[in-house]
Structure 1
Amino acid sequence: MKTAPLEVKTELPGRTNAYRIAEVRPQVSGIVLNRNFTEGSDVQAGQSLYQIDPATYQANYDSAKGELAKVKPPPPSRI
């Protein structure tokens, strides 16, 4: 009689649950340009998860800057 390795394989039904769940909520609204993570991967605190289109925010900033320039008096001239 000769010995040989024997592989025992058993398939059983089952369910798994994540041991950690994170709820992600947006802090700003906008169009998502890019997702900076892979679903199911680990992420670090402070890591950017999404890239939001800055066009709306830039337009609002430029508009506010223009309004401020209208109401702000010019600096006194030195003659």
Structure 2
Amino acid sequence: MDLSRLPQHEQAQVQALLEEGQARSSIRMYNTVVERCFTDCITTFHSSALSPTETACVKQCVNAFLKHSDRVSQRFMEFS
């Protein structure tokens, strides 16, 4: 996006809106990962600590999501 034709104050406003959108997107993605991995992996509530099985499941879930997210980002960059 070429903002060079806009006045300086409008460039700053557009940049601020873009940064806010990126922050919201990051928070949304984080919340999605937490909810998905919690639902898939946490099965007991006998202790405040995760069991070794739950810990391994959460790690695997997060890694899979990050790999998928990275792959989607790479494809997006290829097309743009």
TM-score higher than 0.5: no
If you compute each CA radius of gyration, which structure gives the higher value, 1 or 2? Answer: 1
TM-score where L is the length of structure 2 = 0.30
Q: Tell me which protein shows more strand as a share of its residues.
A: 1
Q: Tell me which protein shows more helix as a share of its residues.
A: 2
TM-score where L is the length of structure 1 = 0.31
